[in-house]
């Protein structure tokens, strides 16, 4: 029996842990953490083992398929591309470029094929481009653009050196960090306390991260903005800010002090759901610590106040002198230094809007929540054909339950995905890439957000099949089909030949050579792809260095503390109280599980076995008041929709709040996920109103939806989407 062990990374989430994959004959028999990995130092989570199962999954598509009635049949690559080209060009010729919409999902960012995703987006020239970013980090990019002058300048939390870590709306003990790549986050958090520092978690649920902390503050969902306004008031009123740092680094100080003049902890406390004394103490402790950092993520991003909250997170870090210094918020020096060029990218904010005129484009995108309506609403600019790449928006985005029907109504839909999912089941043609273990690459995305500078190579575990294509090759062929060419039969072939030579790895090699560690700058000592490839644990490039001064893209080269529209929106938010409406007396938030990854690991038996994960988590008092018992099915209902899921009772969640994970609801007919279908669950995004978005960036506000929960009655059960466990 032939056995080999290959070092690479797990690309399932942002942590990109270093792994050792052992293969015996043609099967993956073991996946372990790589102790030599310079960033993850041997850590891996249970999801990593799914990489082997995904590779061997019989449900994974290995050839392109074409819809025939209600099923799919295999088809050759050339035939597929020919048909796609003809159909898409016909749509564009008849209705214009915006008639082709594109949605790019999360896994796209986890492979360097994303370069070709971006290129396809450009080739389409459509206004109807969407991505998972608008149900993820849009508010953070928006804030980075307005405060630092470039959307990529989202600061990294220097967790390895801070003496005070305050986490709001993130659960790194499960997620392993996001927009701060910190594999093995649990250990890193424990280490803060081990070196005498403090950890505070602000979250409506006592999460896995909160359990590691010195203090847990159970904020009201959506209450963080008020909590931070209260903290900022204390910092200003008590003279606790680092005014020297502010004067050297920032503009807008006077506007900030005016804004928070009346936001006393007493006034903010009821909105935050946190008592005034705690707010005051959090402010004082932040200022007193030798270094301190507020780290915020999805829980505060996906709120109507997402942009405002992230603005105040950065502002508090800046005015306490914790921006761009060790132990605070910092910026990496990645081997391909995208941060230096961010300021030259126009954000095109408001260059166009969705057709209802509600949402402005931001970095050439519209919010994903308008996708169903842009397909369904007739008239000029209507989407007639779609391309989805590595995304499952039917489950991952709030669409008022209309996206299924919308996708089914398209003239033509092509999906780049290796599964027949709730989304891709509507496609006319599905183009599957080779498996992750069949590609080799050098990740250049996540080093931009890593807690240490590093360079790590992903080696191939398996040779791809002779007729297998990587995502970038598929996307390059789609580009070839879409760009206007004279004499398509001949020039198309020539263009394919050219693009085939421009693999992301080749492009990356050139970018590395020109980057901060490359041979063009460092001569013979410089890094090359070959050098990185020969270091199976990667190369450590040292701790983060202060460098905002060289990166900042604002006109006066100062951090903008007080963009006018942020101030206006903040004043409005201070005057608005978010009260329960129409008997929807609970607030719904999300949660993630260590064995689940958005919508697409539920087809792997080891990821779904055991207790049902798609449950509504609620406080014992809330359950008792509604006559609900642990494990029994309940109807969760909002103004937008209803689902049925089992109840899970826990005192870890704030009374008045319930939590349901997203990415479930795999029972639709025709979905090619056989294991997932048996576990079902329900799609929580049916409960979220697509019209409820972050006011400034347009990101979906899914973390404080008003709901009611009650035992299943015959009527409510029939009307709702039922989860397997609840039904069974």
Ligand X SMILES: Nc1nc2c(c(=O)[nH]1)N[C@H]1C(S)=C(S)[C@@H](COP(=O)(O)OP(=O)(O)OC[C@H]3O[C@@H](n4cnc5c(=O)[nH]c(N)nc54)[C@H](O)[C@@H]3O)O[C@H]1N2
| Residue 491 CA: distances (Å) to CA of 67, 82, 148, 486 | 29, 14, 43, 7
**Cα 49 to Cα 28: distance, rounded to the nearest angstrom:** 9
Contact between 130 and 366 under an 8 Å Cβ cutoff? The reply is yes
How near is the Cβ of 131 to ligand X at its closest, in Å?
Answer: 8
CB closer to ligand SF4, 126 vs 597: 597
Judged by CB under 5 A, the stretch of 131-139, 203-211, 384-392, 690-698 that binds Mo ion is: 131-139
> Among ligand X, ligand SF4, Mo ion, none, what binds residue 210 when CB lies within 5 to 8 Å by partner kind?
none
Q: How far apart are CB 481 and ligand X at their closest, in Å? A: 17
State which of positions 274-333 bind ligand X (CB under 6 A).
297-300, 303
Among 14, 37, 136, 422, binds Mo ion (CB under 5 A): 136
How many residues touch Mo ion under the rule CB under 5 A: the total is: 1
Phi, psi of 163 (to 5 degrees): -105, -5
> Shortest distance, CB of residue 433 to ligand X, whole angstroms?
5
| Contact call for residue 617 and ligand X (CB under 6 A) | no
The number of residues in the chain equals 728
Report what 188 binds from ligand X, Mo ion, ligand SF4, none; CB cut-off 5-8 Å by kind.
Answer: none
Q: Which stretch binds ligand X (CB under 6 A): 103-111, 251-259, 348-356, 359-367?
A: 103-111
Interface with Mo ion by CB under 5 A: which range of 130-138, 367-375, 430-438, 714-722? 130-138
Burial of 99 (0-12, 13-18, 19+ CB in 10 A): buried
Close Cβ partners of 248 (under 8 Å, ≥ 6 residues apart): none
Among 684, 686, 701, 712, binds ligand X (CB under 6 A): 684
State the Cα–Cα distance between residues 700 and 688, nearest whole angstrom.
9
Binding to ligand SF4 (CB under 6 A) within 423-442 occurs at none
Nearest C-alpha neighbor of 586 from the set 426, 705, 718: 705
> CB within 8 A of 261, min separation 6: which ones?
233, 236
Contact, 105 vs 390, CB < 8 A? Answer: yes
Fill in the per-residue mask, 58 to 97: x = in contact with ligand X (CB under 6 A), - = not in contact: ----------------------------------------
Distances from the Cα of 157 to the Cα of 92, 181, 190, 291, 478, angstroms = 44, 9, 15, 11, 38
Residue 13 touching ligand X (CB under 6 A): yes
Least distance to Mo ion from the beta carbon of 12, Å? 12
Distances (CA, A) of 509 to 338, 446, 700: 14, 16, 37
| 405-443: b (≥16 Cβ within 10 Å) or e | ebbeebbbbbbbbbbbbbbbbbbbbbbbbbbbbbbbbbb
Number of residues that bind ligand X (CB under 6 A): 65
Alpha carbon distance, N-terminus to C-terminus of the chain: 44
Of residues 44-103, those binding ligand SF4 (CB under 6 A) = 44-45, 47-48
Select the binding partner of residue 703 from ligand SF4, ligand X, Mo ion, none (C-beta < 5 to 8 A, by kind).
ligand X
CB 660 within 8 A of CB 617: yes
Strands 539-543, 452-455: pairing kind: antiparallel
Q: Out of Mo ion, ligand X, ligand SF4, none, which partner does residue 17 contact, by CB within 5 to 8 A per kind?
A: ligand SF4
- Least distance from ligand SF4 to the Cβ atom of residue 16, Å: 5
Q: Is 480 in the site for ligand X (CB under 6 A)?
A: no
On whether the CB atoms of residues 15 and 181 are closer than 8 A, the answer is yes
Closest distance to ligand X from the beta carbon of 418 (Å): 6
Region of 6-14, 54-62, 101-109, 270-278 interacting with ligand SF4 (CB under 6 A): 6-14
User: What are the start-end ranges of the E strands in 59-184?
Assistant: 65-68, 71-74, 100-104, 129-131, 156-157, 164-168
Residue nearest to ligand X (CB): 299
Residues 693 and 367: beta-carbon distance below 8 Å: yes
CA neighbours closer than 13 Å in the CB half-sphere of residue 343: 13
- CB atoms under 10 Å from CB of 375, counted, come to 24
User: Segment contacting ligand SF4 (CB under 6 A): 39-47, 256-264, 286-294, 718-726?
Assistant: 39-47
703 lies in the binding site for ligand X (CB under 6 A)? yes
- Candidate segments 31-39, 136-144, 313-321, 540-548, binder of Mo ion by CB under 5 A: 136-144
Positions in 156-215 near ligand SF4 (CB under 6 A): 176, 183
From the list 7, 8, 12, 113, which residue makes contact with ligand SF4 (rule: CB under 6 A)?
12
Contacts with ligand X, residue ranges (CB under 6 A): 13-14, 105-107, 111, 132, 135-136, 168-172, 174-176, 178, 202-205, 207, 219, 221-222, 224, 297-300, 303, 389-393, 396, 416-419, 421, 433, 436, 471, 589-594, 596-600, 662-663, 684-685, 688, 702-704
Contacts with Mo ion, residue ranges (CB under 5 A): 136
């Amino acid at each position: 029996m032939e056995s080999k062990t290959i070092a690479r990374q797990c690309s399932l989430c942002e942590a990109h842990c270093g792994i050792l994959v052992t293969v015996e004959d043609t099967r993956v028999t073991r996946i372990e953490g790589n102790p030599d990995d310079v960033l993850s130092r041997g850590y891996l989570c249970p999801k990593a083992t799914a990489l082997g199962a995904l590779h061997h999954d019989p449900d994974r598509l290995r050839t392109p398929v074409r819809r025939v009635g209600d099923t799919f049949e295999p088809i050759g690559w050339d035939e597929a591309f020919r048909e796609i080209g003809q159909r898409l060009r016909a749509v564009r010729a008849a209705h214009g470029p915006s008639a082709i919409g594109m949605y790019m999902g999360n896994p796209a960012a986890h492979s360097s094929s994303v370069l070709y995703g971006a290129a396809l987006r450009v080739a389409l020239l459509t206004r109807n481009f969407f991505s998972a970013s608008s149900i993820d980090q849009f508010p953070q990019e928006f804030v980075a653009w307005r405060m630092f002058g470039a959307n990529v300048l989202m600061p990294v939390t220097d967790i390895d050196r801070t003496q005070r870590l305050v986490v709001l709306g993130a659960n790194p003990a499960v997620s392993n960090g996001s927009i701060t790549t910190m594999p093995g986050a649990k250990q890193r958090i424990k280490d803060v306390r081990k070196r005498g520092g403090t950890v505070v978690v602000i979250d409506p649920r006592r999460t896995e991260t909160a359990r590691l902390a010195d203090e847990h503050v159970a904020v009201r969902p959506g209450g963080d903005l008020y909590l931070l306004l209260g903290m900022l008031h204390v910092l200003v009123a008590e003279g606790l800010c680092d005014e020297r740092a502010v004067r050297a680094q920032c503009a807008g100080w006077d506007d900030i002090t005016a804004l928070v003049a009346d936001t006393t902890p007493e006034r903010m406390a009821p909105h935050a759901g946190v008592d005034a004394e705690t707010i005051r103490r959090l402010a004082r402790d932040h200022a007193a610590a030798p270094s301190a950092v507020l780290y915020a993520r999805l829980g505060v991003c996906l709120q109507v106040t997402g942009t405002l909250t992230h603005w105040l997170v950065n502002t508090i870090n800046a005015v306490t002198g914790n921006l761009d210094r060790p132990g605070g918020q910092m910026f990496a020096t990645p081997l391909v230094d995208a941060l230096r060029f961010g300021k030259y990218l126009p954000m095109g904010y408001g260059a166009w809007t969705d057709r209802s005129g509600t949402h402005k484009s931001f970095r050439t995108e519209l919010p994903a929540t308008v996708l169903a309506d842009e397909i369904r609403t007739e008239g000029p600019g209507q989407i007639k054909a779609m391309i989805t790449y590595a995304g499952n928006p039917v489950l991952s985005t709030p669409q008022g339950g209309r996206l299924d029907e919308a996708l089914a109504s398209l003239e033509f839909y092509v999906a780049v995905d290796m599964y027949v999912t709730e989304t891709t089941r509507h496609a006319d043609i599905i183009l599957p890439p080779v498996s992750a273990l069949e590609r080799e690459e050098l990740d250049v995305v996540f080093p931009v957000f890593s807690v240490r500078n590093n360079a790590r190579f992903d080696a191939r575990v398996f040779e791809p099949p002779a007729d297998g294509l990587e995502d970038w090759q598929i996307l390059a062929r789609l580009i070839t089909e879409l760009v206007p060419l004279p004499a398509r039969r001949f020039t198309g072939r020539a263009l394919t030949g050219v693009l085939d030579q421009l693999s992301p790895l080749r492009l990356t090699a050139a970018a590395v050579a020109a980057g901060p560690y490359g041979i063009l700058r460092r001569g013979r000592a410089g890094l090359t792809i070959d050098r990185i490839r020969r270091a199976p644990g990667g190369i450590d490039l040292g701790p983060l260095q202060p460098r905002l001064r060289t990166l900042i893209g604002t006109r006066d080269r100062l951090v903008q503390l007080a963009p006018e529209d942020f101030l206006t929106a903040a004043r409005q938010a201070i005057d608005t109280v978010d009260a329960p409406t129409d008997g929807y007396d609970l607030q719904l938030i999300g949660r993630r599980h260590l064995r689940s990854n958005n919508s697409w690991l539920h087809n792997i038996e080891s990821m779904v076995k055991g207790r049902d994960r798609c449950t509504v988590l609620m406080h014992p008092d809330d359950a008792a008041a509604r006559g609900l018992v642990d494990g029994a099915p309940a109807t969760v209902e909002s103004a937008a929709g209803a689902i049925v899921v089992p109840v899970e009772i826990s005192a870890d969640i704030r009374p008045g709040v319930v939590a349901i994970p997203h990415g479930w609801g795999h029972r639709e007919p025709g979905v090619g996920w056989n294991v997932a279908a048996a576990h079902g669950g329900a799609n929580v995004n049916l409960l979220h109103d697509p019209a409820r978005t972050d006011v400034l960036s347009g990101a979906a506000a899914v973390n404080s939806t008003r709901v009611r929960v009650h035992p299943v009655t015959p009527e409510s059960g029939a009307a709702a989407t039922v989860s397997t466990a609840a039904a069974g």
